[in-house]
Structure 1
Amino acid sequence: MDSTIVLILLQDGVMNGAIYALLGLALVLVFVVTRVIFIPQGEFVAFGALTLAFMVNGRMPGTVTLLLIIGVLVSAVEIIAAIRSSNWNGIPKTLSWALVLPIVLYLLAPYVVSTETSLWVNVLFSMALVVPMGPMLYRLVYQPVAEASVLVLLIISVAVHFALTGLALVFFGAEGWRTPPFMEGEVQMGAVTWSAQTFFVLGTCGLLILALWVFFGKTLYGRALRATAVNRRGARLVGISTNMSGSLTFTLAAAIGALSGMLIAPVTTVYYDTGFLIGLKGFVAAIFGGLISYPIAAGGALFVGILEAFSSFWASAYKEVIVFTLIIPVLMWRSFRSHHIDDEE
């Protein structure tokens, strides 16, 4: 192995590591706010990539119908809850994003889906189709059991993962897809040629991480999420709705997952079940940070990406085994350094 090969592998590793960093941050965010180990995070990666791929090729994505179905279910659940509690105050707001928005997108889709549509319009429309599924999923599945134990929430997450994987197969089929790169061209850096797509991915990941830092540090909703992450009971006592926090957290997780899928689709063929492996590597990165530390999770993600790239060169048949086996020493290291703390709930 010469220096040129090393630099090429580093390029691939850093780009993949940036994607895993975003997914790791999303997993940490969901866990610290809701105590949910969000196994289905990878499904949003697949949904985002496949929705964009279908639109780019002029085909109607299955998420148009899927979003409408889930929206109808959420609206029905909210109406039933309002009837039982005789409280109709939140119904107009819920119907606006759970029913009206999916109907509008469903009606607009035939006019937007075309091979002549701009890539950036396709990206925005794909995000509009996938991101609302996050809060809808939280309302249907997690909000009713928000006070359950972490183990119960984990079991539910596994079930949701299998359900979403099955839905992805139904609405997208078993065929793999790729999307065109967001940026064409190459940049010569020494002995290695870097693609412009790599710099686009790294820049987008950096901007998104910076935006999340500003959101959590400078905005009211971001501080509310931080308060909920620190102490759920204390947040409720000062008037912060944990339901609102959970819904907003799942919205951010869905947005991060969908965008990550769109970033990785130009360099990786995405199938209906591809998101699970990608999300699992983000989970490995999150384990580095103990599901609570953002910086350590981001550093772990870069390490995972680089390790995967070099493993694919030296032992491509075992690269997944090498990456996932990494969880064992990390868990042992964290178990030796941690002390038992009772769950506040």
Structure 2
Amino acid sequence: MDLSIAGILLLDGLTNGAIYALLGLATVLVFAVTRVIFIPQGEFVAYGALTLAILQTGKVPGTVWLLLILAGVAALMNATAAWRRRRAALPALRAAAATLAAPVAVALVTAWAAPHRPHIALQALLTLAVVTAYGPLVYRVAFQSLAGATPLVLLIVSVGVHFAMTGLGLLFFGAEGFRNPTFWDLRLPLGPVNLSGQAIIIAAVSLALIVMLWLFFGRTLRGKALRATAVNRLGARLMGISAESAGRTTFAMAALIGALSGLLIGPTTTVFYDSGFLIGLKGFVAAVMAGLASYPGALLGALFVGVIESFGSFWASAFKEVIVFTLILPVLLVRSLTDHAEEEA
């Protein structure tokens, strides 16, 4: 290996690491606020890439119909809960309408725009809107009623949601893979390395999103409320912070990050209905390196995972996945010897 090959591998590793960083941050965010180890985070990535691919063909993506079905189920659950609390029809109808409003609006706009084949930027925005709307609905249907359960129960439910979303992905997208067009067709020579426009976009968007998350948690009231929920859920509830609202917001942010990651990774690799699982697991490895608690640690861990994967694919391409996932073993061993479990008061 010479310096030119090392430079290419390093650039490729950092580019992939930026994607894993976003997924790792989303995993840490969801776990910190809700105690859910969110295995289906990678499915949001696949849904994002494949929804854009279907929009490119001028067809209405199946995620739109799934969104309407999921919204209907969540609306029925909210209406039933409101009816049980007040035994009145009007609050139940209001709860159902509030749940249906945003998903139905997004679905209608997407179904109308898809046959017109708008510019790829508008298609990307529609994709983000569709997949982001899944987040609060998934939380309402699968996790909200189990908010007080143990992390093990929540993990089991998370695995079930993963299998359900993977199966639905096969139903709506088929077994065929898709590769999206690049957002910026640029080749910038930097010595022996050619820097692509897509790599620049991935780095810029990842950095911008990380800065926005930092500002959100440090400067906004909603972000501080989420931080309070992450630090002490009981204390946050006693201060009037809604755990349900925090959960919906957290899952919406996780879905947005997943959809954005799918848009970024779509032009660099062929995405299948089940591709999100491995991508999400690599983000999970980065999150575990950070102890499922540190956002800077998840970022550094993700970049490390990306670089190791890139160089591992050069030296032993058949074992690159094994190399990446083996990294988690010494991390868990060290943490088991140094960390001490603490129960929340």
Tell me the TM-score range normalised by the shorter chain: over 0.9
Deviations 1:56-109 (A, max 9, x none): 12222111100000011011111111111117658636523x323333333333
Query: 1:72 — aligned with what?
Result: 72
**3-state SS of paired residue (2:188):** strand
Amino acid at match of 1:132: A
Does 2:2 correspond to 1:2? yes
Corresponding residue for residue 57 of structure 2: 57
Match of 1:304 in 2: 305
Residues 1-345 of structure 1 mapped to structure 2, 5 A cutoff: 1-86=1-86, 92=94, 95-96=97-98, 98-114=99-115, 116-344=117-345
Partner-residue secondary structure (3-state), 2:270: coil
SS in structure 1 opposite 2:343? coil
Q: Deviations over 1:10-53 (max 9, x none)?
A: 11100100000000000000001000000010110111110011
- The secondary structure found in structure 2 opposite 1:188 is strand
2:17, 2:303 within 8 Å by CA — same for their partners in 1? Answer: yes
Letter in 1 for 2:38: F
* SS in structure 2 at match of 1:262: helix
CA distance in 2, matches of 1:178, 1:62: 17
Which secondary structure state, in structure 2, belongs to the residue aligned with residue 131 of structure 1?
A: helix
Counterpart contact for 2:83–2:91, Cα < 8 Å:
no
The whole-number CA distance in structure 2 between the counterparts of 1:7 and 1:208 is 26
Amino acid at match of 1:62: G
Q: Which amino acid aligns with 2:37?
A: I
AA of the residue aligned to 1:247:
R
Does structure 1 retain, via aligned residues, the 8 Å contact 2:312–2:320?
yes
Alpha-carbon distance in structure 2 between the residues aligned to 1:3 and 1:60: 47
- Counterparts of 2:265 and 2:251, CA distance in 1: 21
CA distance in structure 1 between the aligned counterparts of 2:55 and 2:48, rounded to whole angstroms: 11
Q: Is the 8 A contact 2:181 2:267 kept in 1?
A: yes
- 1:81 is matched by which residue type in structure 2? A
Could you tell me how far 1:128 is from its partner in structure 2? 1.2
1:54, 1:319 → 2: CA distance?
Answer: 30
- 2:180 and 2:306 map into 1 onto residues whose CA distance is 21
Secondary structure of the residue aligned to 2:64 is: helix
Give the direction of change, closer, same or farther, for the CA distance of 1:100–1:11 in structure 2 (3 Å limit). same
1-side partners of 2:116 and 2:185: how far apart?
18
Where structure 1 has 5 or more consecutive residues not aligned to the other structure, the ranges are none
Which amino acid in the other structure matches residue 61 of structure 1?
A: P
What is the Cα deviation at residue 337 of structure 1? 1.5
Shift in Å, 1:343: 4.2
Instruction: Structure 2 unaligned segments of length 5 or more: list them.
Output: none
Determine if contact 1:143/1:243 at 8 Å carries over to the other structure. Answer: yes
SS in 1 for 2:189: strand
- For normalisation by structure 2, the TM-score amounts to 0.96
Q: Distance in 2 between matches of 1:90 and 1:297?
A: 41
Preserved CA contact (<8 Å) 2:15 2:199: yes
CA contact (8 A) 1:55 1:115 kept: no
Deviations 1:242-265 (A, max 9, x none): 111011000000000010011000
Q: Secondary structure at the match of 1:26?
A: helix
Residues in 2 aligned to 1:296 and 1:290: alpha-carbon distance in whole angstroms: 8
Residue 116 of structure 1: how far off its partner (Å): 3.8
Say whether the 8 Å CA contact 1:56–1:115 is kept in structure 2.
Answer: no
Shift of 1:288: 0.7
User: Which has the higher mean CA deviation after the structures are superposed, 244-253 or 103-112?
Assistant: 103-112
1:21/1:285 contact within 8 Å kept: yes
**Equivalenced residues, count:** 343
Deviations 1:148-169 (A, max 9, x none): 0011111110111111111111
CA displacement at 1:340 relative to structure 2: 2.7
Deviations 1:178-233 (A, max 9, x none): 11111111111122111111011000000000000000001010000000000000
- The one-letter code sitting in structure 2 at the alignment partner of 1:43 is E
2:13 is matched by which residue type in structure 1? Answer: G
Quick one: structure 1 residues 57 and 34, their matched pair in 2 at CA, closer, same or farther if it must change by over 3 Å?
Answer: same
Distance 2:304 2:107 in 1: 41
Distance in structure 1 (CA, Å) of the matches to 2:273 and 2:253: 22
Output the aligned Cα RMSD: 1.4
Distance 1:137 1:266 in 2: 27
Tell which deviates more after alignment, 106-115 or 30-39.
106-115
C-alpha deviations, 1:285-310, integer Å up to 9, x for none? Answer: 00011000111111000000000001
Q: TM-score w.r.t. structure 1 length? A: 0.96
